[in-house]
Amino acid sequence: MIQSGTDVAAMALDASLSIQATNSLEKMLAHQLAAVHKLAMEQMGRLSYERDAAVEPKRINAATRCMAVYQQGLLTLHKIRQNGQRITVQYVNVSNGSRAVIANVQQDNVDGLKAWPRKGPPDAVTVSPGVAGL
């Protein structure tokens, strides 16, 4: 961040304080947003000095892409905060010859939680000696 200039570091700190980041991931997202914002503004600022007609559309395109990335970052922050989505990772030890039931729970906007999003029983995995990846 410092290599991009102290103004980006200051913007990143201000952004993380402004959004009241509650954890390190939100802080990192705020820092990324500040860096992308600076890039977009730099590209737009250089347009007024650009004399090469072939480079001008490239600068506009770069600035537009940076602005789109910035807006997606804000939407990501909104989704993280509004949905309260949590991911739980659980490890299960399965012995040779045993079976493990693998299922996922999805949020359905109409019916609430649905344990089985498809018809039929969950997948079962049988562990055999020498099977890689399980």
Q: Which residues of the chain have pLDDT under 50?
A: 1-2, 109-118, 122, 124-128, 130-134
Q: In whole angstroms, what is the distance from residue 29 CA to residue 14 CA? A: 12
Q: Is the whole model's pTM more than 0.75, yes or no?
A: no
* pLDDT at residue 86, as a whole number: 64
Residue 9: Cβ within 10 Å count: 16
Q: Answer whether residue 19 is part of any domain.
A: yes
In the three-class reduction of DSSP (H, G, I as helix; E, B as strand; rest coil), residue 113 is classed as strand
Range of the domain at 67: 2-83
Give residue 69's pLDDT: 94
Q: Write the CB contacts of 134 (distance below 8 Å, at least 6 apart in sequence).
A: 94, 125, 127
Q: What is the pLDDT of residue 81?
A: 85
pLDDT at 49: 86
pLDDT of residue 31: 94
Q: How many domains does the chain have?
A: 1
